[in-house]
Amino acid sequence: MTSTIRNKELLVRFIERVWNNEDLQAVDEYVAPLYTIHHDPGDPWDGQTLDTAGFKARLKRSRAPFPDQSFKIEYIIGEDDKLAAAWKWRGTHLGEIAGIPPSGRTITMSGLTVYYFERSRLCGHWQVADRLGVYRQLTGAG
Amino acid sequence: MTSTIRNKELLVRFIERVWNNEDLQAVDEYVAPLYTIHHDPGDPWDGQTLDTAGFKARLKRSRAPFPDQSFKIEYIIGEDDKLAAAWKWRGTHLGEIAGIPPSGRTITMSGLTVYYFERSRLCGHWQVADRLGVYRQLTGAG
C-alpha cells in the first residue's frame, strides 16, 4: 500500500472521528505534535502552529456552535504528503457564533482542504470554505 | 513525462493565458468542447455545462469587473485526471459587480480549485473561493 492510499484512509477516519464526533483520543492517534493552519480565512487560528492541547481546544471551540456537525467528503485526490479533500458540511446552529445567537437552523457549507502529512500523521492544512454562504444563512444578509 | 506532470504544465499556462490575460485563442487550445462547472458557489454558471462559446462568454463577463485580475498559484497537487490548485488572486475593482459600482480599490481573494482533465484538455472544475472576504472588501459589511 502506498503512503498516499494509507494517508487517504487515515484522512477519512480523522474527519469522521475528530471533526464529526469530537473524539479526542483520535487526535492523539492522527495528529502530529505540531499542526500548522497554513491558510484558513475566518479561522481564529489562521497562521498559527498548535500543539496537541491547542488542537483539541480549537476542535472543541470550533464545534461548539454546531454540536451535531458533519463533514461529508465528496472525493480526495492526493500526491505524496498532501491530500486535497472536497467536502460538504451541515450542522444545526445551537450555539453562539460571531455574536449571532443560536437559531436552531440547519446550516450547510462547502469547502476544499489540502491536508499535509508527515510520517502518517496530519501536520497542517490549507483551506477555503464558502463563508459567505454561511453568513447569508445565519443573517439573511450579503 | 506522465500525464499528471503534463496536465500541471497545461494548467499553469491555462491560468496565465486564459484567466490572467483573457487570451481567447488559448481557450480553443486548452478547453474541451464541453466544460462543466461542477461546484462553484456564487458563480452564475454553477452547475452548468458550457460549450466553447459559453466558456468565452463566462470568461469575459467574469473578468469585466476586475480587468487587471491576476491569479497566483501557490501550488498544485494532482492525481490522474484531477489537479487541485491553491491560489491567491488580486484585481482592481473597475467595473460593476453584484450591483456595487466600481470603487478603484485593490481586492484580494484566495481559493482552491480542482480542475478536471480529459485527453489533456480542461473539462470542468470544483471550486470554493473566499467570497466573504471579497464581500467585506467591497462593502465594509459582514
pLDDT of residue B142: 64
pLDDT of residue B80: 86
| Out of B110, B112, B135, closest to residue A114 by CB | B112
Find the mean pLDDT for residues B54-62: 98
Find, among B47, B24, B27, the residue nearest to B36 by Cα. B47
Residue B82 has, within 13 A of its CA and on its CB side, a CA count of 17
Assign A134 to helix, strand or coil.
helix
Calculate the CA A130 to chain-centre distance.
13
Question: Is residue B1 predicted with pLDDT exceeding 70?
Answer: no
Query: How many residue contacts between A and B have a Cβ separation below 8 Å?
Result: 90
Find the mean pLDDT for residues B82-101: 96
Instruction: Report the gap between the CA of B71 and the closest CA in chain A (Å).
Output: 15
Distance CA B52, CA A62 (A): 43
Find the mean pLDDT for residues B30-39: 98
CB contact under 8 Å between B39 and A126, yes or no, is no
| B38: contact with A, CB 8 A cutoff | no
Which residue blocks in A15-94 are alpha helix, DSSP H? 24-30, 52-63
Find, among A8, A112, B108, B40, the residue nearest to A16 by Cα. A8
Give CA torsion, residues B69, B55, B37, A116, to 10 deg. -40
pLDDT of residue A142: 63
pLDDT of residue A24: 98
Find, among A52, A53, A35, the residue nearest to A123 by Cα. A35
Q: Residue with C-alpha cell 458563480?
A: B43
Which residues numbered 61-80 in B keep a CB inside 8 Å of some CB on A?
74-75, 77-80
- CB contacts of B132 in chain A (<8 Å) are 41-42, 131-132, 135, 142
Instruction: Report the gap between the CA of A53 and the closest CA in chain B (Å).
Output: 28
Q: Which three cell numbers stand for residue A126?
A: 490549507
pLDDT of residue B3: 86
Closest B-chain CA to A141: B142
Mean pLDDT, chain B, integer: 96
**Tell me: the pLDDT tens digits for B102-121?**
999 999 999 999 999 999 99
pLDDT of residue A98: 87
Q: What is the 3-state secondary structure (H, E, C) of B67-110?
A: CCCEEEEEEEEEECCEEEEEEEEEEECCCCECCECCCCCEEEEE
Residue B69 has, within 13 A of its CA and on its CB side, a CA count of 26
Q: By percentage, how much of chain B surpasses pLDDT 70? A: 99
Distance CA B76, CA B4 (A): 10
pLDDT of residue B39: 98
Closest B-chain CA to A81: B77
- Print pLDDT tens along chain A (142 aa): 578 899 999 999 999 999 999 999 999 999 999 999 999 999 999 999 999 999 999 999 999 999 999 999 999 999 889 999 999 999 999 999 989 999 999 999 999 999 999 999 999 999 999 999 999 999 887 6
Q: Find out whether A119 and A135 touch, Cβ atoms under 8 Å.
A: no
Please tell me the pTM assigned to this model. 0.96
Q: Which three cell numbers stand for residue B7?
A: 496536465
